[in-house]
Amino acid sequence: MKNIERFLKYISYDTTSNPYSDTTPSSKKELILAEFLVSELQHLGITNAFMDEFGYVYAYLKAKNETDKTIGLIAHMDTSFDASGENKA
């Protein structure tokens, strides 16, 4: 899959947050994207990818050698209730 196709797939998920919720994540819809991201990472060969009970996705890719630097990637998966992306595709 090309990067643009992958990006368009990611943004097709409705991940609108719920400002009235007292749960994490604030809506169960957010977990659907998180589960998909875990499967994507595993498909790419990152076998240790997983999602915790709060919908956070984790994965670790070991450096090829000890001199390579480690980087971290962090992303926000939900969209604002005030600017929902629902049915915008």
- What's the whole-model pTM score? 0.81
Listed by start position, the domains of the chain span 3-82
Answer yes or no: is pLDDT of 89 > 60. Answer: no
pLDDT value for 62? 80
Residue 25's nearest CA partner among 57, 2, 61 is 57
- The strand pairing partners of 16, in sequence order, are 79
Determine how many CB atoms are found less than 10 A away from the CB of residue 16: 19
Using one digit for the tens of pLDDT, what is the confidence trace for 11-70?
889 998 889 999 898 889 899 999 999 999 999 999 999 999 999 999 988 888 888 887
